[in-house]
Amino acid sequence: MKTLHLLSYLIFLSKFLGPDTDIKYTHTRKAFPPPSPLITVQSAFLSRLFFPSEL
């Protein structure tokens, strides 16, 4: 069951951080210079969404 959750989580992440993000980040690079903190916040939120029992 955990592998299924992890798989859907990775698929969701790959859709979320897909090729569109390059356009988004180049478009808003002046507003948000490093994209990595944004990604860590999103992944932390998503992991809380997918794995509430582990927190």
**pLDDT digit string, tens, across residues 38-51:** 566 667 777 777 76
Q: What's the pLDDT at 32?
A: 47
Residues contacting 37, CB < 8 A, separation 6+: none
| Average pLDDT over the chain, rounded to an integer | 61
DSSP E strands, 1-55:
none
